[in-house]
Amino acid sequence: MRRRIDTLPGRALGAVLATAALSGAALAATAAPATASEGREGYLGLERGQSGTIDLDVRRPGEAVLTATVSAGRADWAVKGRESAVVAAYVDGRHVTDLVVPSNLPTQRTFALGRLEKGDHELRLVFDERSPAGVPTVELSRLRVDVSRENAEEYDVLAHAPILIGRTLPELGSVWQNATTDTPLIAWHEARPAATPGHQIVEYSVVWSNEDGGTNSPALMARWGRTTDIEWFYRVELDEDGERVPGTGVYQSAGHGTVEFTGEFEGDHPLIQVCTSNNNMCHEISTPAADRMRFALDTRATRPADRSREHLMDTNPWTYQVMAKEMLREGQIEAPSNPATPAVGDQRTYLWVETTQVTGTAQGPGSLPGLAIGVKLRGDATVYRSDHSVLGWTIARDVPAATTVELPAGKTADDVEQLIAIRTPSGAGDNGATLSVKRIGRAFFLTPDYLPGPSFLAFDSGVQLTPAAPQATLWTR
């Protein structure tokens, strides 16, 4: 059975969209021998190898985005062999993106489908056979396709968004390794004026579930407040008409370099392959088309200027659960948890903090001062530190940033008595600069299901730290 989606005029994200609304009671599988579930509006229930087909009627051309609530039977990102279901999306027979579904809990996800011209199109969703063997079914519901017209505010952002080609490093497993490790979760963009009046620089970033190389996990928790990997991966200058300025497209290469993109485009979408264990890029595509994983992520989201990059995870709380489960599956969690060691313990025992600091003028040679957050609990004289007193594990950047503080198991927000700011050198020596803590943006614990609990404090701070007075209380109960 096939179902038709007719585009309707509407508004979303502050811009005019052609909104594709489902018509009909159900979507059905087209692949034999099994039969997909029917009877739910905007619903696809697929077994391995099955596909569902949706007819699209696009009334005005533009960049399309698919929204769906997804879940996969028995999928558990923490369990080897049951990590995910992979759904491949095809438009008019062309492979446009893969959807990695890492949980049996319904989660809303969005993916880009590329440019659709006016007229009829076919969207086919396939439960791909190369999914991990232990996941038998996948469900997609509340299916919706939005087409951003050429005069829409977010059109240029979508039109120039990169398409990621999955990582295929031989030492890390199969050519579909992003189905089980370091999978891309969400993406977003940031825009700023370019030097040329009327032009803008658009930078695209992605959150990965982890990184198999690069910074070790204990240092990630201390310095970055997470064990996901967050990287910018493409940046380009657009002129006043939204066209790419030749020679301005660059990407983050191996070793965190910045290299001009001279590779292949699909329309205005650059194809960039993930080619290092810490998720840096290259523009030479080494994987044959038939073996590629493709990720066309929805990049419309952005972040407030006063929030850290981790704010994108906060607004997509399911990303914390995937992050934690990858750590469990890979055996990176210390058991039992012990806050006296720098090893990563149960991530539900950590206080997750966002902070903003400003570093003053250096007064001499030496390293910049870094910030550690200390936590004192009721009835406990210990000050638990985000950096575990390890040199180089402080926050040493004057932008909104995140960190975590490991605490004894079972502690909650009610047990937290004080937050303390601690100035400490970030490397050899101390250059004598002041360190001002301007803001605490949020503080929360993870729930038993590894989802962010409610933030129990946020405030502006005027605390200033110096070599002579390196500690100050930020907050007390």
Q: How many CA atoms lie within 13 A of 180 on its CB side?
A: 19
> Residue 196 phi/psi, 5° resolution?
-80, 125
Please name each of the domains of the chain with its CATH number: 1-147 (2.60.120.260), 154-321 (no CATH), 333-476 (2.60.60.20)
Of 380, 376, 360, the C-alpha closest to 368 is 360
Residue type, 405: V
Distances (CA, A) of 17 to 14, 21, 68, 427: 9, 12, 17, 51
Per DSSP, which regions of 94-213 are E strands?
94-101, 107-116, 119-127, 137-149, 163-165, 184-193, 200-208
Has this prediction a pTM greater than 0.85?
Answer: yes
Which residues of the chain register pLDDT less than 70? 1-41
pLDDT at 10: 27
Contact 23, 34 (CB under 8 A): no
81-132 pLDDT, tens digit per residue, is 999 999 999 999 999 999 999 999 999 999 999 999 999 999 999 999 989 9
In the sheet where 435-444 sits, what is the strand order? Answer: 401-406, 350-359, 435-444, 459-465
Any long-range contacts for 310-313 (C-beta under 8 Å, 24+ apart)? 310/224, 310/225, 310/226, 310/230, 310/354, 310/402, 311/354, 311/400, 311/441, 312/186, 312/188, 312/207, 313/186, 313/207, 313/226, 313/228
pLDDT at 41: 53
120-161 pLDDT, tens digit per residue, is 999 999 999 989 999 999 999 999 999 999 999 899 999 999
pLDDT at 42: 81
* DSSP three-state, residue 291: helix
Query: Could you tell me which residues are beta bridge partners of residue 51?
Result: 126
pLDDT at 319: 98
pLDDT at 173: 82
